Amino acid sequence: MKKILLALDAGHVDTELIHFACNTATLSHSTLTGYFLSEPKEEETIVNMAFGMPYVETIVTKGPTAAEQKQLAYIQQFERTCAVRGIRCQILNNSTINAAEAIIEESRFADLVIVQASLSFEKKLEESPTALVKQILAEAECPVLVAPLNQTGIEEIVFAYDGSRSAVFAIKQFTYLFPELADKKAIVLQVNKDDSLPVTDKEKLGKWLRMHYSGIGFQVLQGKPSEELYARLLGKQNTIVVMGAFGRSWLSSLFKPATAGILLKTINLPFFITHH
């Protein structure tokens, strides 16, 4: 992996997210591109009178606004953090009304996108993952890594598996992008309605995984995928979850409005999501 695209709200400093991205870049020896997104600046206008008729005058602000100064300070903080960590970094700025499309467009030329589940430019409070993040997950042209709320190391990899092409594709993409994790414990987790059903293509998948990981295991759970995955991951630490296209529905179920707050606090794990 060579290029990581980190999606950032230019108006809000997220130190934990920057450190997580830096750790990922360090692990993979990648260049980290900070993509600072903001909404277009609204022009300030006043209504004046001339010859008894009203007219609108646009006020032109000289010098950077308070928001622009804040954004510059954020960019400088990002650059300093990368410099201290010895990470090659690049900066992209975009003032746009459609942040999702901007990120998706840039993802075509990146190996990985890192985003926080709560990223939003809406005035009202949104549930996680936000509409913007859901669109990125559905349309990104490279894998997406949804960052945890707090920094966590990686000692275990959980491959959420359903026997589909998308699930295998996600496993392969993650393995190719992160060969540095070959010595970590890897678990293939399959959820069936009947626990007597075997792991689909277990022999073939196991043989491939053993070529890339030093220790692998298989686990079959019985029940509803979203509920079983939640129970399996509840309280977990130092674990990353890998999902294919089917995983988007699992992730959506995990973040239902009634339990979003609890889940974001209890399942503090990174999710690697991609689709075939």
Query: CA 150 to CA 4: how far, in whole Å?
Result: 19
Instruction: Report the CATH number at residue 114.
Output: 3.40.50.620
Residue 46 included in any domain: no
Contact 42, 151 (CB under 8 A): no
Q: Is residue 85 part of a domain?
A: yes
Q: pLDDT tens for residues 52-105? A: 667 566 555 555 677 788 889 999 999 999 999 999 999 999 988 899 999 999
Which residue, 123, 147, 171, sits at the end of a domain? 147
Domain count, the chain: 2
Q: Is residue 166 located within the same domain as residue 142?
A: no
Residue 47 lies in a domain: no
Give me the chain's average pLDDT, please. Answer: 85
**Buried b / exposed e along 149-159 (16+ C-beta atoms within 10 A):** beebebebbbb
**Tokens describing residue 23:** 């750790």
Does 134 share its domain with 168? no
Whether residues 116 and 210 fall in one domain? no
Domain that holds residue 19: 3-39+67-147
Within a domain: 56: no
Per-residue pLDDT reduced to its tens digit, 242-268: 988 755 565 666 555 544 445 555 688
